[in-house]
Amino acid sequence: MSKTALRMEDSHAGPVCVLSISGRIDSGNAADLLDRLNELISSGEKTILIDFKEVLYLTSAAFRVLLVATDEAEQKAARVVLCGLLGQVRELFEMGGLLEAFTIHGSREDALARL
């Protein structure tokens, strides 16, 4: 499997569902991320923390998915929260003017301490 292939793994930390993502998120696989988020929201998860620490790069296709999923979650009284935005990944959020469009914490530990 390519080093940049998208991998997603969810686990629980108390009431928080943590979705760890690694690899790249682009036009070719963003729909897979949306499917996974929709599954988690539909299954009744109320707080979904997406950890970007292992993400290599992402494109605007990822931002669209995150915006759609955030809205979908709010309609179901749930929330999507982001953490682990480092280096180039954080810069891409900045370039898109998107840092204020989401709830973003530093590390996973920081996020779990606040959720």
Partner 1 sequence: MAKPVSQTTHVVIRNDIADLAALRTAMENVGAEHGMPEESLFKLQIVLDEMVSNVIKYAWPEAGVHEIEIRIAVRDGSVEVEIVDDGRMFDPRDAPRRDKPLARQRLQPGGLGVQITKQLIDRIDYARIGNRNHTTLTKHCVLQRTASVRE
Binding residues vs partner 1 (CB under 8 A): 24, 26-28, 56-61, 63-64, 67, 70-71, 88, 92, 95-101
Which run of H or E residues covers position 102?
none
Measured from the CB atom, the residue of 20 and 70 that comes closer to partner 1 is 70
**Cα–Cα distance for residue pair 38/58, rounded to 1 Å:** 19
Output the six-digit token pair for 81.
């929260």
- Minimum distance from residue 82 beta carbon to partner 1 (Å): 14
Residues 6+ away with beta carbon under 8 Å from 39? none
Shortest distance, position 4 Cβ to partner 1, whole Å: 8
* Nearer of residues 10 and 26 to partner 1, judged by Cβ: 26
CB of 61 to partner 1, least distance (A): 7
Residue 97: phi, psi to the nearest 5? Answer: 65, 35
Q: In terms of CB distance, is 56 or 112 closer to partner 1? A: 56
Task: Give the H or E element holding residue 75.
Answer: helix 60-75
Smallest separation, CB 57 to partner 1 (Å): 4
